[in-house]
Chain A
Amino acid sequence: MHHLISPKHCLAFISRYQKYVSFFLILFLSYGLYAGLFLAPKDYQQGNVYRIMYIHVPLAIMSLVIYVTMSIAALIYLIWKIKIADHVAKISAPIGAIFTALTLITGSIWGKPTWGTYWIWDARLTSELILLFIYFGIIAIRSSMSEPRLGAHASGIVTLLGLINIPIVHYSVDWWNTLHQGASILKWGAPTIAPSMLHPLLSMIIAALLYYILVVMVRLRKMI
């Protein structure tokens, strides 16, 4: 694995695997969309509007996963000064920000018919909004530095500081009394969701992960 830190090998790795990532992205996305929108049954309370879940949940999970990945990359850069790690951190920030913004947008569209409001200052929603601001901060601090090395350093440190918000977002639904529902998949024990609704969701989560990997590959290729 460590040979990937050499730009030449990294480039060869990307050229080799990018097509597979694209292929599986299309595969999981097609199945997830078809099964989620057409095969999965109607929800007995929400009717069809719950189908927003198939994009909202993957985006929300990935908004946290991308942040953790970005933090690991930042840490690797800060300790070992591996440039590719910093590239990954740099690429991840805007993708994470977009995923977080889309999580808030889809959540708010879903909130209107189910909760009766687009927005409420609930712990989950607020901590996710803070996550968006942290992403903006990380992007801003990097571009505000005149020297790229300094920007990489500063944004790396801010990324690690912001990591504190990740467990807050995830556990907010347990720690506080929120309007947002609790965890259904990422929790101890079996998921509390019917298999016919769960399978397309898992497929969409994998698709979101592959989308992130694909964008990192596409952008990394141009940076090294």
Chain B
Amino acid sequence: MGHNADYIYWAYGIVFTVLSIFLWISSRHDNE
């Protein structure tokens, strides 16, 4: 992906990590 590949990895890495953690927290979350 050339010298710009790092930017793509960072963007996808951050998004998928955050969204996976959030979904995981939501599924365990005991509200009210």
A contacts, CB < 8 Å to B? 47-49, 51-52, 55-56, 59, 94-95, 98, 102, 105-106, 109-110, 112-113, 211, 214-215, 218-219, 222-223
Instruction: Tell me the minimal C-beta distance from A113 to chain B in angstroms.
Output: 5
Contacts A215-B23, A218-B27, A222-B30 given: A49-B8 contact, CB under 8 Å? yes
In the complex, residue of chain B having the shortest beta-carbon distance to the beta carbon of A148: B32
Residues of B within 8 A of A94 (CB): 22
Q: Which of B5, B15, B18, B30 contacts A48 (CB 8 A)?
A: B5
A-B contact count (CB 8 A): 62
In the complex, residue of chain B having the shortest beta-carbon distance to the beta carbon of A46: B4
Provide the bound-state CA to CA distance between A59 and B18, in Å.
Answer: 12
The 8 closest A-B pairs by CB, nearest first: A49-B4, A48-B1, A109-B11, A106-B11, A52-B11, A222-B31, A223-B31, A218-B26
Contacts A211-B23, A222-B30 given: A52-B8 contact, CB under 8 Å? yes
Question: What range describes how many residues of B lie at the interface?
Answer: 20 to 34
Provide the bound-state CA to CA distance between A94 and B8, in Å.
Answer: 25
**Which residues in window 1-32 of B have CB below 8 A to A?**
1-2, 4-5, 7-8, 10-12, 14-15, 18-19, 22-23, 26-27, 29-32
Residues of A within 8 A of B7 (CB): 49, 52, 109-110, 112-113
Is chain A's binding surface mostly helix, strand, loop or mixed? helix
Q: Which of B8, B15, B22, B31 contacts A51 (CB 8 A)?
A: B8
Residues of B within 8 A of A105 (CB): 11, 14-15
Provide the bound-state CA to CA distance between A55 and B18, in Å.
Answer: 13
Residues of A within 8 A of B11 (CB): 52, 55-56, 105-106, 109-110
Task: Flag if A106 contacts B8 (CB, 8 Å).
Answer: no
Residues of B within 8 A of A109 (CB): 7, 10-11, 14
Instruction: Tell me the minimal C-beta distance from A142 to chain B in angstroms.
Output: 13
Residues of A within 8 A of B29 (CB): 219, 222
- Show 11 A/B contacts (Cβ-Cβ < 8 Å), sorted by A: A48-B8, A49-B4, A55-B11, A55-B12, A102-B18, A102-B19, A106-B11, A215-B22, A215-B23, A222-B29, A222-B31
Contacts A52-B11, A109-B11 given: A47-B4 contact, CB under 8 Å? yes
